[in-house]
Amino acid sequence: MRRSRCVALALPLLMVLAAACGSGSSSSSGSGGGSSSSSGGHYGGTLTLLANSNWGTADPGKNYTLQEWQLLRLTHDGLVQFRAASGSAGTELLPDLATSIPKPTDGGKTYTFTLRPGIKFSDGTPLKASDFVTVFKRQFTIPGPANGFYENLVGGAACLKSSSSCDLSKGVVTDDQAGTVTFHLTAPDPEFLDKLTLPFAFAVPANTPLKDTGNNPPPGTGAYMWKSYDPQHEAVLVRNPYFKEWNPDVQPKGFPDEIDYKFGLSVEAEVTQVENGQADWLFDPAPSDRLNELSTQYASQVHVNPLTAEYYFALNVNIPPFNNPQARQAINFAADRNAYVKIFGGPSLAVPTCQVLPPNFPGYQPYCPYTTNPGDGKWHGPDLAKAKQLVQESGTKGAKVAVVGTTDEVGKAITEQMVSDLNAIGYNASAKLLSGGIQYGYIQNSDNNVQVGYSQWYQDYPAASDFLNVLYGCGGFHPHSDASPNIAGFCDKTIQAQMDAALTQGVTDPAGANKAWAKIDQEVTDQAPMVQLFNPKLIDFVSKRVSGYQFSPQWYMLISQLSVK
């Protein structure tokens, strides 16, 4: 998934964080009566959240933004879900609407789930197995960025080509009497269960239209339900009257009675409102000129968490000068990652990296060949002498290089730093800044001959292939298309064969597969189709009256677990 700090994007395997600018009215948060849980949390009250802009469509079958997913996680459920918990516990897969997580059969191609009995949607309709036929049919009838996620279902590929005649009768087999949902895949997929945790696979009633429901999300089974969603002003969630806690590890009863999500304030104003206690949290990253203030005056209300994500520049391996591996390695040696870290907010908010996989991720083993004093897997500093030597040897010195970046604060500064790094080793570099909504599609399309493109990648789910295979696999490169997440156009047959083998191995031997992914990570890093910059951390700034903060590596701040006094 890809997230932009400023402009919402929606493309394959792309996920959005934030939005553009605007203004709006101030908000206030109130609290009502309630009771206390055994864990000390306070049930009741209204939690007020702020975001500069809305998340577009609210339909779980189409929306591909973290911003709404954090709410959909509270209003809807899938068959399986990650544990709602902080730290590594939050990566544990647990049954949600299903009674248990099944072992795949038929050589890893069949999964059979049994539904928990007695669960109802927020409109009172009982949950049935056949609801899931609608859920997956919608994935092929609603054009969206994630249509390819479930292509592996039997019939999925045909549905992708022609949604009007979509037939998943052999791919999703349901039995309402027995309460079973059986998935048949065309090939083993070690990440199939991960994909079932995404909102695209959340249960909706069978009669839900096979089209985008826009601002009216269909009923769900979660602890909350949608009361209203007005993209210009606010979204309101209230308790689902039909919800009964069946697995508090994945869908716990939330603390606030109501969650108000208001849109339209500038991010500066959002920070001020949370400082003043007029709101409880802001979705948008705090502006850089407010960070010191938060750090010194509101430290107890600030939570910083590492993300399994990366900021990087893709180097186009198919056009000069970076079709030359030495040129690619040269800029990797020259990139001053400390500078990029400072742009992002300093060492408290980012960690320099050279490799594709982020720390604490399946397959991660520290590796950094592009540094002074290599060997311990950490980046210590740029090696300009080595970089200049490689540029000389590559014969690319003096080449014109255009770096395509974004116009937001961080994107612009990072792009300018890359221009400086390139110029420092003898290239004639300049920047081309485009708004985020245009830039991501632009740098993906090979017709635009982008030499260096700035991008970010955030995990969809904790699997090494979600980084390596998507960003550097041959299947991720679609020439002449705006939807080509392999921006570098990198396709190494030997490495691809290793990726395919690791994917197959992952079905039966995840640990062995992760070792293979670690080796692939190093090989891709050596080939340098990118300049990895840093792994970011996320700041959550909450109001004084909020307690019970938890950060899930998959869903980030667990909104319903905040209690308001």
Partner 1 sequence: MAVSQIASEELEPAGELRPEVAGRSPWALAGRRLLRNRVAMVSLGVFLVIVAISFAAPIYAHDIAHTNPFQSNLNGTTVINGQRRPVMQQGGGVLKLGETPIGPTWQRNFFLGADNQGRDVMARVLYGGRSSLAIGIGSAFIACMIATIIGVIAGFFGGMVDGVLSRIMDVIWAFPVYLLAISISTVLLTAPNGLALGPVHIQANSLWLPTMIIAVIYVPYVARPVRGAVLSVREKEFIEAATAMGASNMRIMFSEILPNVISAVIVLLPLMIATTILTESALSYLSIGVQPPNASWGTVIDDGQQLLYTRPMVAIAPGILIVLTVLALNVFGDGVRDALDPRAKVRIGD
- β-strand 546-547 against 563-564: which pairing, if any? antiparallel
Burial class from Cβ neighbours inside 10 Å (0-12, 13-18, 19+) for residue 413 reads: middle
Among 234, 336, 383, 466, binds partner 1 (CB under 8 A): 336
Cβ distance to partner 1 smaller for residue 338 or 527: 338
What minimum distance in Å lies between the beta carbon of 389 and partner 1? 21
- How do beta strands 46-51 and 281-282 pair? parallel
Q: What is the spatial distance between Cα 496 and Cα 158, in angstroms, rounded to a whole number?
A: 25
**Which x/- pattern, by CB under 8 A, does the window 534-563 give for partner 1?**
-----x------------------------
Of 144 and 321, CB closest to partner 1: 321
Q: Which of 30, 563, 557, 2 is nearest to 283 (CA)?
A: 557
* CA–CA separation, 171 and 185 (whole Å): 7
> Please, which residue, 378 or 412, has the CB nearer to partner 1?
412
Given 99, 423, 496, 527, the residue binding partner 1 (CB under 8 A): 423
**Position 246 contacts partner 1 (CB under 8 A):** no
Q: Output the smallest distance, CB 303 to partner 1, in A.
A: 10
CA dist., res. 101 & res. 294, Å (int):
43
449 binds partner 1 (CB under 8 A): yes
Among 508, 399, 466, 422, CA closest to 198: 466
- Measured between alpha carbons, how far is 250 from 259 in angstroms, rounded to an integer? 19
Q: Residue 118's CB: how many other CB atoms inside 10 A? A: 9
Question: Cβ 158 to partner 1, closest distance in Å?
Answer: 36
Does position 479 interact with partner 1 (CB under 8 A)? The reply is no
Beta-strand runs (E) in 397-447: 400-406, 428-434
Does the footprint of partner 1 cover residue 417 (CB under 8 A)?
Answer: yes
Nearer CB in complex with partner 1: 115/294: 294
Under 8 Å between Cβ of 338 and 515: no
434 binds partner 1 per the rule CB under 8 A: yes
Per CB under 8 A, does 25 bind partner 1?
A: no
Q: What is the CA radius of gyration of the chain?
A: 24
CB of 349 to partner 1, least distance (A): 6
Find the binder of partner 1 among 167, 268, 376, 393 (CB under 8 A): 268
Output DSSP code: residue 564: E
Kindly indicate which of the ranges 223-231, 256-264, 291-299, 357-365 contains the residues binding partner 1, using the contact rule CB under 8 A.
291-299
Under the binding rule (CB under 8 A), the answer on residue 289 touching partner 1 is yes
- Rounded Cα gap, residues 22 and 37, in angstroms: 39
- CB atoms < 10 A from the CB of 537, how many? 17
Q: Contact between 291 and partner 1 (CB under 8 A)?
A: yes
* Shortest distance in whole angstroms from residue 5 CB to partner 1: 12
Instruction: By CB under 8 A, tell whether 433 contacts partner 1.
Output: yes
d(CA 145, CA 80): 22
Q: Which of 431, 468, 524, 559 touches partner 1 (CB under 8 A)?
A: 431
d(CA 181, CA 503): 24
Reported as type and span, the H/E element at residue 35 is strand 34-36
Does 204 engage in binding with partner 1 (CB under 8 A)? no
Task: Please answer whether residues 521 and 355 qualify as being in contact, where contact means their C-beta atoms are separated by less than 8 angstroms.
Answer: yes
Choices 76-84, 146-154, 258-266, 345-353; region in contact with partner 1 by CB under 8 A: 345-353
The one segment of 33-41, 49-57, 442-450, 542-550 that binds partner 1 by CB under 8 A: 442-450
Stretch that binds partner 1, among 124-132, 133-141, 183-191, 401-409 (CB under 8 A): 401-409
Q: Which residues pair with 551 in a beta bridge?
A: 557
If one asks whether residue 165 binds partner 1 (CB under 8 A), the answer comes out as no
| Binding flag, residue 448, partner 1 (CB under 8 A) | yes
Contact flag: residue 321 with partner 1 (CB under 8 A)? no
d(CA 541, CA 283): 9
DSSP SS3 for 246 = coil
Q: Which of 120, 233, 290, 545: binder of partner 1 (CB under 8 A)?
A: 290
Return the range that interacts with partner 1 (CB under 8 A); candidates 29-37, 167-175, 197-205, 430-438.
Answer: 430-438
As beta bridge partners, residue 110 has 105, 184
| 218/345 with CB nearer partner 1 | 345
Q: How far apart are CA 355 and CA 369, in angstroms?
A: 9
- Is residue 302 near partner 1 by the rule CB under 8 A? yes
402 scored as a contact of partner 1 (CB under 8 A): yes
Cβ atoms of 541 and 295 closer than 8 Å: no
Residues that bind partner 1 (CB under 8 A): 268, 287-297, 299, 302, 304, 336, 338-339, 342-343, 345-349, 402, 407, 409, 412-413, 415-417, 419-421, 423-424, 430-435, 438, 442, 447-449, 539
